[in-house]
Amino acid sequence: MNEPRPTNGHAKHTEEGASELAERARRAVQAARAAQERWRLEPLPARAAALTRAAKNMLRRRADVIALARQEIGKVEAEGIFNEALGPLDAVNGWVKVVERAASREPVRLNPVSFPRKSAYVDMVPRGVVGVIAPWNFPVAGLYRATIPALLTGNALVVKPSEHSPRTSAWLADQLAEVLPEGLVQVVQGDGRAGAALLDAGVDACVFTGSPEAGRRVRLHCAERGIPSSIEMGGKDAAIVLADCDLPRTVAGVTHWALANAGQSCGAIEVAYVDATIADAFVEALRRTWTRLRVGKDVAPLANRRQYDVVGAHVEDARARGAVVVCGGAPADVPLGYLPTVLDRCDERMKVVRDETFGPLLAVVRVSGAAEAVRRVNEARYGLGTSIWTGDVARAERLAERLDVGVVNVNNHSFSGAIPALPWSGTRETGFGVANGPHALSTFVRPRAVLVDRNRAPEVFWMPYDDALLELGDLLADAQLLKIERAWRIPLLLRRRLRTLRDFFR
């Protein structure tokens, strides 16, 4: 009943040799680099217009990507449209505003006394070819939040889709390639070996989203080659449910963010730290809700057998260590489906509290109040996001300042990841990569400083050196210390130095 979906055949065969992989990656990077030479010279409005055309085409063809995501990873139709199809155009519009503000030429003010007749500015210039190693859980959404800012800032792309969702991710690349200059967007298919080959092929930056194990390998690989990288390595997001929360909304929100995409999201709620005074009511409300949800319609099946096995193992581990199975805890009657599962009275000994599950499973940990909940969040392995559910927003904002995570939501959860202006980042084993917001642009651009000097005379500190220059240096140092008794000599020494330099270079 719970067998894996058939292999789609789009990815390269695993027996492909290392030399063939390396050559494919090399050709892709080479073609992308050739196209980038002209693309980087296009003004931002022209780049934005091209990406807008591509995004509108994606909306018109949304049925295709919804079907592909369903076939490859079992994504239900509602999440196919809301998670994958609707996002690209919003992302283009949002990123254009971010790039306009954060990557435009920045004038630098110079002291006219210390730097006479000089002006300066900083341009943010594209790095070149960006390699994107994409996740399978959001095969389009996990791609466009990197590809769109990379392209808007003048880079070319080489995308390595996950071997679990090769056709869905390639669909996005195909839509971009149809509108953008030939060669600018390339795709290299394959497993982790293809990702390593891509990094070795000479990309100038890397964006990776995936497991901690793979993320550590990619980060080291990039460091060895001097490639800037943004690495996101998963999460174990928590909901802090306080006694004064609006219980119906909290149950609805926790339900959605725990079970959306079958919990296969780095920003899914996997643990709820619930004030003990309302824990019974909260757990019972979850039970009533979750037992009415339909696997395959509301809750997607697991994307692959490996993830299905992880969920089952975590449930059994928790059960063996004393957790109470409130609902679920067993396979559903669809391929790779697992019933939405609430486990009550969990603790840190259990994998469902300690390790990333990536499934339709919520561990409830009863706490004595907000202070204990914050402490437990900060002691966890991962540090991506946390939500606080309470009627006292001011108190929640104070608690947010104490949370050692990258993203905090009050009375909602991880939808902020779809807002280009808001950074999405983490701490600890989540990694320190940043997606979204101006802080993410350092992966795609580097600063280039330009200083223009309109002086015709040599600078007073240029060679040749003499006693007048030494005395001038001492007087300038004294002036900074507000010792100005001999400051009257500074103009005399400046004129003397300029005469010396003019005579020397005449």
Output the furthest CA–CA distance in the chain (Å, rounded). Answer: 94
d(CA 166, CA 160): 8
Taking the CA atoms of 10, 234, 219 and 100 in sequence, report the sign of the dihedral they define: positive
Q: Classify residue 432: in a domain, yes or no.
A: no
The answer on 323 and 225 residing in a single domain is: no
Q: Can you give the pLDDT at residue 15?
A: 54
**How many CB atoms are closer than 10 A to CB 205?**
23
What CA dihedral angle connects 282, 283, 285 and 286, to 10 degrees? 120
The answer on 125 and 86 residing in a single domain is: yes
Surface-to-core class of residue 373, CB atoms within 10 Å of its CB (0-12 exposed, 13-18 middle, 19+ buried): buried
The answer on 204 and 250 residing in a single domain is: no
The answer on 60 and 43 residing in a single domain is: yes
Bridge partners of 366, per DSSP, are: 274
Q: How many domains does the chain have?
A: 3
The answer on 299 and 194 residing in a single domain is: no
Q: Classify residue 24: in a domain, yes or no.
A: no
| Residues 142/134, Cβ–Cβ less than 8 Å | yes
d(CA 282, CA 274): 8
CATH classification of the domain holding 158: 3.40.605.10
Q: Classify residue 8: in a domain, yes or no.
A: no
Coil vs helix vs strand at 200: helix
The answer on 222 and 165 residing in a single domain is: yes
Identify whether 266 is a catalytic site residue.
yes
Identify residue 349 by its one-letter amino acid code: R
The answer on 37 and 184 residing in a single domain is: yes
DSSP character for 323? -
The answer on 204 and 334 residing in a single domain is: no
**Residue of 222, 266, 327, 346 marked catalytic:** 266
Do β-strands 229-232 and 361-367 pair in parallel, antiparallel, or remain unpaired?
unpaired
The answer on 224 and 190 residing in a single domain is: yes
The answer on 209 and 60 residing in a single domain is: yes
Coil vs helix vs strand at 272: strand
The answer on 184 and 131 residing in a single domain is: yes
d(CA 422, CA 239): 20
CB neighbour burial string for 400-411, b if at least 16 within 10 angstroms, e if fewer: beebebbbbbbb
d(CA 220, CA 217): 5
Identify whether 327 is a catalytic site residue.
no
Cα–chain-centroid distance for residue 204? Answer: 18
CATH classification of the domain holding 251: 3.40.309.10
Q: Classify residue 433: in a domain, yes or no.
A: no
Per-residue pLDDT of the chain (506 residues; tens, 9 = 90+): 333 354 444 444 445 688 999 999 999 999 999 999 999 999 999 999 999 999 999 999 999 999 999 999 999 999 999 999 999 999 999 999 999 999 999 999 999 988 999 999 999 999 999 999 999 999 999 999 999 999 999 999 999 999 999 999 999 999 999 999 999 999 999 999 999 999 999 999 999 998 888 999 999 999 999 999 999 988 999 999 999 999 999 999 999 999 999 999 999 999 999 999 999 999 999 999 999 999 999 999 999 999 999 999 999 999 999 999 999 999 999 999 999 999 999 999 999 999 999 999 999 999 999 999 999 999 999 999 999 999 999 999 999 999 999 999 999 999 999 999 999 999 999 988 999 999 999 999 999 999 999 999 999 999 999 999 999 999 999 999 999 999 999 999 999 999 999 999 98
Q: According to the 3-state scheme, what is the secondary structure of 360-381? A: CEEEEEEECCHHHHHHHHHHCC
Q: Can you give the pLDDT at residue 506?
A: 87
| Residues 430/233, Cβ–Cβ less than 8 Å | yes
Q: Classify residue 374: in a domain, yes or no.
A: yes
The two three-digit tokens of residue 59, written as one number: 């909306």
Q: Classify residue 2: in a domain, yes or no.
A: no
Q: Classify residue 209: in a domain, yes or no.
A: yes
Find all residues with CB under 8 Å of 172, minimum gap 6, and list them.
Answer: 58, 65, 88, 139, 140, 143, 144, 147, 159
The model's pTM is 0.92
What Å distances lie between residue 84 and 63, 68, 91, 195, 411, CA to CA? 11, 11, 11, 23, 24
Q: Classify residue 39: in a domain, yes or no.
A: yes
Q: Look up the domain containing 316 and give its range.
A: 237-421
Taking the CA atoms of 274, 278, 279 and 284 in sequence, report the sign of the dihedral they define: negative
Angle between helix 44-60 and 166-179 (nearest 10): 130
d(CA 101, CA 91): 16
**Residue of 232, 270, 356, 429 marked catalytic:** 232
The answer on 275 and 351 residing in a single domain is: yes
